[in-house]
Chain A
């Protein structure tokens, strides 16, 4: 079974440019999450989709970030325009819908390392 895949693995862009990150979750997983780790700091939650709906986007830093999940399958995270502080590793994760609790573990992709110069 394929795991969570992310593309690209690395991206180097100039300040002011646009970048789009893609995540393909595990097939059948309705929950899809985006997280980000800035160098040396904790991994921070960005947002959570249930199918195509945004369940929680409380972690999105500002309106330069736009996440979509059309059709409830893969997701994209667009940063426009990119700033220096957006550099970091962006992780995507997916999980099955639990019957009544949140105790199912999330499976993570390998991450996209974004460098804004």
Chain B
């Protein structure tokens, strides 16, 4: 069965510092991996995805994520955090072979960037 783990309920970082939001996954085959963000009173917004190719994926708002197959991880990163990055972040996986249109999400990580 597919699953996603986001081990941190909350990540606190000071503005200007680098940030990392962790995600590990488990799928039977090769995954498609996604990050979504939910700002207060807004829907889920797509940030970035890994399909194939370069393990470092760049996305919206300066975010990037690194696919690590051996560690089955897809951590979200940003070199310099902004207060406006404070939001709820969800990692998601989609199996290429089984039920390939269905996303499996993690529980979410709340990012709090302090001024």
Contact = CB atoms under 8 A, between A and B. Distances in A.
Interface string B28-71: 00001010100001111110010100000000000000000000
A64 interface: no
Given A40-B107, A42-B106, A102-B94, A110 B43 contact: yes
B25 interface: no
Interface residues of A, number: 30
A2 B106 CA distance: 27
Contacts of A25: none
Contact of A103 (B45, B51, B92): B51
Given A42-B107, A43-B90, A43-B105, A102 B100 contact: yes
Q: What band does the interface of chain B fall in when counting residues whose beta carbon is under 8 Å from A? A: 20 to 34
A107 B46 contact: yes
Interface in A91-113: 91, 93, 95, 101-103, 105-111
A7 interface: no
A109 B43 contact: yes
Given A103-B51, A105-B34, A45 B44 contact: no
Contacts of A35: 103, 105
A70 interface: no
Nearest to A59: B102
A55 interface: yes
B43 to A, nearest CB: 4
A58 B101 CA distance: 13
Given A91-B43, A91-B44, A111-B43, A106 B103 contact: yes
Given A105-B46, A108-B45, A56 B99 contact: yes
Interface in B83-102: 90, 92, 94, 96, 99-102
Contacts of B42: 110
B92 to A, nearest CB: 8
A26 B104 CA distance: 22
Interface of B: 4, 32, 34, 36, 41-46, 49, 51, 90, 92, 94, 96, 99-108
Which 3 A-B residue pairings sit nearest by Cβ, starting from the closest?
Answer: A102-B100, A108-B44, A110-B43
